Structure 1
């Protein structure tokens, strides 16, 4: 937890420096990224809002994930998190988004998507984007913590290189 808090502070500094505003679209992390960044004093200068879209209906209603995409690929898929990131940017004042959907467990796993499978998408308005899938070890809490930390780490890494 302290590692994530320290990382959140660094991310906040870089977001402010580069004049970015973060928005999150979270499923399996349940707002964990938003919580981590809003623990930092002054985060209102670089954080706009969070969409906690745990259900498929919420993904569709709040951030325009297409029903067809959910049916074709499942909620834990790269196409869905791409649509989540796009929708989060469209429905916010954010300039950079992270979207997360996964299987934290203990149930919900399939043969091709074991517990710990988490898909991520990051997107900057009119610019950089990245999509990844990871399988994190551990129990539900550990998967969610690792996913939250990873989401912030990729933002930090991107912002550290921006303008170089």
Structure 2
């Protein structure tokens, strides 16, 4: 499991750097796909809740250093998302297009809800989504559209992104 968490964290950090540097130049309505979230969703679904929690926490700490959010903000939200997605392990057949899109859209909505709760509780210096604003729904659509492609790419790294007992 530690090897899986390590490699997944490395991929998520690389995705975070790509998001903040390259993808920000080609944003659609100032919205970019959350590649780090999509990778977390894949790793959590394939490996289960515990791996999802640990990967979400460790990668969230690193993403906190890359963002302007308060320390622990990404760690908390990604730990919860990793745990919830990991609970779905083995419950559905992971097809090529539909299920990855639904998982990524659902994870984006869960992320928005978690961020709204954190914003409500701590209000100071925390970003928040506005559910009536189009930007959230554009991000949901972009993540849902990107999900199948990222999942297909990550399947190439199945040996390093799956626990040994699953290989």
Question: Under TM normalisation by the shorter chain, which class is it?
Answer: 0.3 to 0.5
Give me the TM-score of the superposition, normalised by structure 2. 0.39
- Using the size of structure 1 for normalisation, the TM-score is 0.40
Where relative contact order (Cα < 8 A, 6+ residues apart) is larger, the structure is 2
User: Which is richer in strand?
Assistant: 1
